[in-house]
Amino acid sequence: VAKTEELTPAALREKASWLLGQTSMHAHRMLIDALDAEDARPYHYRLLAALREFGSGSQAELGRHANLDRSDVVAALDELVDRGFVERSADPVDRRRNVISITQAGGAHFRKLDKILNTLQDELLSPLSPSQREQLIKLLRRVLEHQNGRSSER
């Protein structure tokens, strides 16, 4: 049996950016696999979550909430419209905008995906105790808030 712990150079293993990259890549693969069973993609979940939490809105607004590029919002919403999970309609007060609203089927779909995502978190964090999980999330959130602060200063 190969000792995978000794495969990776220490120079990499000790770097937070490396650990973040590896764990996040693995988590992302798990996510793709899990969503695939529902014919869904990570972008779908993000958009539906933003819609449920902030209500209907323009595509631009939605993209900012879900952290999607304006370009990718178009294509991802096309897919959600195809599946009947959201509706596009012209905004009567600002004719540049499309108003996106979530359908009933979309709400049900989101709840299903959210369950899948929650299960996935458990699997991902299974080697950690409950307090360690909280710790990890707290630390990551702090790093992320700092990053968001710095990038919005630019």
Partner DNA sequence: CAAATTTCAGTTCCACTGAGATGG
Partner DNA sequence: CCCATCTCAGTGAAACTGAAATTT
d(CA 102, CA 110): 10
Q: Give me the 107-136 binding string for a second copy, x by CB under 8 A, dash otherwise.
A: -------x--xx-xx--xxxxx---xx-xx
String of contacts with DNA for each residue 92-121, x by CB under 7 A? --xxxxx-----------------------
- Residue 95 CA to residue 74 CA, distance in Å, equals 17
State CA 13 to chain mean position distance: 26
Beta carbons of 126 and 119 less than 8 angstroms apart: no
Q: Report the DSSP pairing between strands 57-58 and 86-90.
A: unpaired
| C-beta of 66 vs 76, nearer to a second copy | 66
Asked if residue 55 binds a second copy (CB under 8 A), the reply is no
Instruction: Provide the binding-site residues for DNA, judged by CB under 7 A.
Output: 21, 25, 28-29, 32, 41-43, 58-61, 63, 68-75, 77-78, 88, 94-98
